[in-house]
Amino acid sequence: MKRFITSIFILASVNTFAQIETLTKEDLAKELQPLKTNIQTLQKEKGSLKSEISNLNTKLSNAYKSIDSLRTKTQDNSNAVTQTAKQLGIQIKETGDKNEGKITEVSESLSKNSLYGIIGVLSAILLSGLLYWLLSRRQQTDKIEIAGKLENKTSTLKSDVILEIEKTKKELQQENIKLDLKLIEVLENQLKGNNVGKVVENTDDNSTIDHSIPLKVADEITRINAYANKLDPNSQDAKALKSSVKRLIITFKASQYEIIDLLGQKYDDGMKVTVINEIDDSKLGKDERIIVRIIKPLVKYKGEQIQAAQVDVANGI
């Protein structure tokens, strides 16, 4: 009997411990569930932070690359400005050299007042070129410094510069026309003088005619006529210049001299002319050759040639 009771007690105890153990695991699982949830949330936040850090690193890398690119562009712009300034300086010097040569040539046949006028015109040309160079350089500097923030002001400045240059060109054109008109008057007086066609005695008892003045007049007629053809044919300046050239040609012919107009004529190797430049022209037919510019005219005296022409020829391709 005692054994039976003891067995029942032992079984009851085992059952009770089993229930306690079961309750403890369930309670422990309930306690651990919030911790598991928090751990999972932290892991998700950790992954999100890693992604954001990676994006930030990428953005920083792109920003560094953009800064390097801007520095490179700024240096390139600075180099371009320096190169442009050098080229403009060379062009201004070359223009000055050419104009000085022209002054020397024309001064031999003009009065002091005409020479001073030409010097004034050439000085104005040089000053205009220098002004344009300075304004262009200032414009480039402003663009680099403000990085496009003053685009409207730059456009206004550029328009003002263009208007000022156009105004200066018109003034110089009018001054050139006045000088050419004065030159025509001087040349006409020289043709009417006693030195035209003057016989020069040589040491060997032979005599020749001095054609230096008429040949100079012929060269100037060709130059002025080409310049007049570039002007607006309806302008008063162009009409006045062409009228004066026609009057000078009449005086030239009255002295028994003649200019043969070769402009626009077909060229062949048998012509007594000197070709200075040859230009390819796709508008002309194959093997077609046309005289497109007269540098020095062909001049005759009493029907005999005293000066060969110098021309530019266009060749068909």
Rg (CA), the chain: 47
Rounded to an integer, the average pLDDT of 245-257 is 93
Residue 220 near residue 187 (C-beta atoms within 8 A): yes
Nearest to 179 by CA among 223, 216, 135: 223
Per-residue model confidence (pLDDT) at position 4: 55
Nearest to 243 by CA among 176, 184, 183: 184
Ranges of beta strands (E only) in the chain are 199-201, 207-209, 257-260, 273-281, 289-296, 298-301, 304-307, 309-316
Per-residue model confidence (pLDDT) at position 120: 73
Per-residue model confidence (pLDDT) at position 288: 93
- Which tens digits make up the pLDDT trace of 218-241? 999 999 999 998 888 898 888 999
Residue 245 CB neighbour total at 10 angstroms: 20
Nearest to 306 by CA among 187, 230, 178, 219: 219
**Integer Cα distance of 73 and 117 in angstroms:** 47
- Which tens digits make up the pLDDT trace of 105-149? 645 555 555 556 666 767 778 777 777 777 777 777 766 665 555
Q: Is the pLDDT of residue 20 over 70?
A: no
Residue 79 near residue 144 (C-beta atoms within 8 A): no
- Which tens digits make up the pLDDT trace of 60-113? 678 668 757 767 876 776 677 477 657 766 774 776 566 556 645 645 555 555
Residue 110 one-letter amino acid: L
Beta bridge partners of 257: 301
| Residue located via tokens 């070129």 | 129
